[in-house]
Structure 1
Amino acid sequence: MNWKDTKFTKAFGTEFPIIQGPFGGKLSSVELTALVSNAGGLGSYGFQPFTGTEMIDISRKIRMQTERPFNLNLWVKDRDDDIDLFQEEDFQKVIQIFKPYFEEVGAEAPSFPLSLNPGFEEQIEAIFDIKPSVFSFVYGIPSEDILEKCRQLGIKTIGTATTLDEAIAIEKAGVDTVVASGSDAGGHRVAFLEKAEESLVGTFSLIPQIVDHVRIPVIAAGGIADARGVKAAFSLGADAVQIGTAFLATQQSGTSNIHREILFSKEAQYTTLTKVFTGRLSRGIKNRLTEELKVWQNSLAPYPIQGKITGRLGAYPANTETHPEFKSFWSGQAAPLLKHHDAQVYIESLINQLNEIM
């Protein structure tokens, strides 16, 4: 069978079973999303921090650059459960932990209460207005009504699972496809049935478990950066692959030059799971902040308040090039395999290699 001819490509209308991972935190870009879709894959854009109006504007710009399907991504659970219990007294305790770092960079600590990002309820209405070919989501499953409306509007859906139980729940809800997101993936660990710390299954253990128990297409994600990883995922039964770090490292992504440089450096060998940056468990490259604040992992603010605090340190690469020792350099464990700085060159090389080895 031709490697391009899978349950995923048939259902989603792409030429290749290759998906660019959606990046939150304003690390996605219109250029990269359109480029991947135009190359025959499925380009993606992470809408986690944006308002409905911003989402509509960005989607219009993507459509100006591609007529092919693309994927828009949201976080279903956009607030931690304990956020309403988090009072100013708790906030000040966290600020004290970070006070030396604010002083070091000459930044002013935020004040309580903080304004938070737009919620899922507002954002999903924008998805209905935009009517993208594909809507993907993490940190849970949208309601039955939302999924039914997606079907009525002709929007294909992709859910994300970090465990077998989550994949079964996603299929049972009527979602079209499931991402098997292994613990080697970069960025947030998007578990929703159990704690993220208790849902750390490696990609190549997770894929066959999910393939054996669901009938919908399975997308492999985590630790896949070259043709060998894609072939291995297909050998285990995956119908497509989702690649994040390799696309994030290209000049077309929305991240900073300093982030790109570190992804191609020796430091990319050393990733860690940390809550320091956002209050939710995420995989990124070790730095001074992740290591010095390890002992405070369970004393931080809930999501998204914690991210507002570290944001004042310039923690997010898309916003500033300064103070790399305090930045959230998201990275999967396959970063040492990266070779390509240009997304067009990367995807063409990947497809050529797959044509040879598959």
Structure 2
Amino acid sequence: MSLQQLLAIDLPIIQAPMAGVQGSALAVAVCNAGGLGSLPCAMLGVEAMRKELAAIKAQTSRPYNVNFFCHRLPEPDAGREAAWRAALGPHFGEYGIDPGSIPVGPGRIPFSSEAAEVLEEFKPPVVSFHFGLPPAELVERVKRWGAKVLSSATTVEEARWLEAHGVDAVIAQGVEAGGHRGMFLSEDISTQVGSFALLPQVARAVKVPVIAAGGIADAKGVAAAMALGAAGVQVGTAFLLCPEAATTPLHRAALKSEAAHVTALTNLFTGRPARGIVNRVMRELGPISTAAPAFPLATSAIAPLRAKAESLGQTGFTPLWAGQNTSGCKEVSAALLVQELAQGAQATR
């Protein structure tokens, strides 16, 4: 079965869910262009999620995807939190922020029964996950209304695990991809490889369709992925300059600058490795810090620095999520971008 048949879409193009830089508008535009638009729900409360889902249902009759993180919330570690705030201490002083006034909070909530309840009202055709899968009973609950389940694998072992636990398709996420690594069986970054090394290995290892993600920004990249065994592609970074995206002016400016050519995996903003444009805090602390609390607890302390710096027009503490290949970022409509990417899939038929 082709990916188009599995997901009931016209084109094997999936718009990557990108929490913080998009909402329903981008998802709707991609769906109406024949691809699979995605709504990131990792940072949405129940009512915000319900509002965005209603907006999608009102504007398209096409299949769409909703995406969730499914991490386990860590136990707060007072010692590690203190070390993290000490590492950020000079910056708090520079911006006149009292670290004692900053609350500790999770920042991102994993998929839950409460979220599943909201989804049951809308019955989205596709539900995808990052960081493995939620508990089996929640996966079964999602499948009960007929939803197809996707999840990200960053290694062959993760792909096999996902297939064994019931996913309908695997997203093979290469190390070039922007945003959070979907890794979940290991925290060792050295296990992470490039898309075109990972993709054929995963395609050989599993029987379900494999979706390529990471570094794919144009039709030639799509064609290359399909030639290596992909049933379709998931593209994120290339959509960041589309008018339907909610990318901030500061982030857009960074994507159009020379700085966008240098990205790195960093745990400074959330506690988990994620790829973004190198900025001040990544240079000064190093992109990976052992002081950063476990995901998603690192977010709390750095959030006020981000807010203060952004108010001054600075991006030194902003997670400027982007993949290694920003060459496809163009200020064109999402529909046009989908059509351009789809030419790569048609070239391989």
Same fold (TM over 0.5): yes
Partner residue of 1:224?
216
What per-residue deviation string (whole Å, max 9, x for no partner) do you get for residues 220-269 of structure 1? 00000000100000000100100010012322112201212221222111
Match of 2:128 among 125, 136, 142: 136
Match of 2:50 among 44, 56, 60: 56
Partner residue of 1:10?
5
CA distance in 1, matches of 2:211, 2:101: 42
Instruction: Note if contact 2:13-2:342 (Cα within 8 Å) is conserved in structure 1.
Output: no
CA distance in 1, matches of 2:36, 2:311: 29
TM superposition score normalised by structure 2: 0.92
Q: Does 1:332 align with 2:323?
A: yes
CA distance in 1, matches of 2:150, 2:70: 12
CA distance in 1, matches of 2:188, 2:308: 22
Match of 1:124 among 110, 116, 129: 116
Instruction: Note if contact 2:38-2:66 (Cα within 8 Å) is conserved in structure 1.
Output: yes
Q: Secondary structure at the match of 2:152?
A: strand
Partner residue of 2:149?
157
Q: Specify every segment of 5 or more residues in structure 2 that has no aligned partner in the other structure, as ranges.
A: none
CA distance in 2, matches of 1:110, 1:269: 37
CA distance in 2, matches of 1:110, 1:336: 42
Q: Does 1:267 align with 2:262?
A: no
Alignment of 1:1-358 (within 5 A): 7-24=2-19, 26-79=20-73, 83-87=74-78, 89-109=79-99, 111=101, 114-117=104-107, 118-121=109-112, 122-294=114-286, 297-314=289-306, 322-352=313-343, 355=346
What per-residue deviation string (whole Å, max 9, x for no partner) do you get for residues 277-296 of structure 1? 11111111111110101187
Q: Secondary structure at the match of 2:14?
A: strand
Report the CA distance shift for 1:212/1:257 in structure 2 as closer, same or farther (over 3 A): same
CA distance in 1, matches of 2:116, 2:297: 22
Instruction: Note if contact 2:13-2:341 (Cα within 8 Å) is conserved in structure 1.
Output: no
Instruction: Note if contact 1:135-1:157 (Cα within 8 Å) is conserved in structure 2.
Output: yes
Letter aligned with residue 109 of structure 1: P
Report the CA distance shift for 1:194/1:141 in structure 2 as closer, same or farther (over 3 A): same
Letter aligned with residue 147 of structure 1: V
Instruction: Note if contact 2:163-2:206 (Cα within 8 Å) is conserved in structure 1.
Output: yes
With 27-36 and 10-19 compared, the bigger mean Cα shift is at: 27-36
Q: Secondary structure at the match of 1:158?
A: strand
> How far off is 1:336 after superposition?
3.0
Q: Specify every segment of 5 or more residues in structure 1 that has no aligned partner in the other structure, as ranges.
A: 1-5
With 224-233 and 126-135 compared, the bigger mean Cα shift is at: 126-135
Q: Secondary structure at the match of 1:336?
A: coil
Percentage of matched positions with identical amino acids: 35
Report the CA distance shift for 1:245/1:181 in structure 2 as closer, same or farther (over 3 A): same
CA distance in 1, matches of 2:308, 2:206: 37
CA distance in 2, matches of 1:228, 1:306: 38
Report the CA distance shift for 1:192/1:210 in structure 2 as closer, same or farther (over 3 A): same
CA distance in 2, matches of 1:225, 1:299: 34
CA distance in 1, matches of 2:281, 2:338: 34
Instruction: Note if contact 1:161-1:179 (Cα within 8 Å) is conserved in structure 2.
Output: yes
Report the CA distance shift for 1:225/1:184 in structure 2 as closer, same or farther (over 3 A): same
CA distance in 2, matches of 1:110, 1:67: 49
Letter aligned with residue 146 of structure 1: L
Instruction: Note if contact 2:67-2:128 (Cα within 8 Å) is conserved in structure 1.
Output: yes
Q: Secondary structure at the match of 1:305?
A: coil
What per-residue deviation string (whole Å, max 9, x for no partner) do you get for residues 163-196 of structure 1? 0000001111111111000000001112000115
Letter aligned with residue 14 of structure 2: I
Report the CA distance shift for 1:295/1:167 in structure 2 as closer, same or farther (over 3 A): closer
CA distance in 1, matches of 2:318, 2:190: 26
What per-residue deviation string (whole Å, max 9, x for no partner) do you get for residues 22-41 of structure 1? 012x2222110100000000
Instruction: Note if contact 2:92-2:98 (Cα within 8 Å) is conserved in structure 1.
Output: yes
CA distance in 2, matches of 1:234, 1:296: 33
With 229-238 and 97-106 compared, the bigger mean Cα shift is at: 97-106
Q: Secondary structure at the match of 2:306?
A: coil
CA distance in 2, matches of 1:173, 1:76: 14
CA distance in 2, matches of 1:77, 1:305: 12
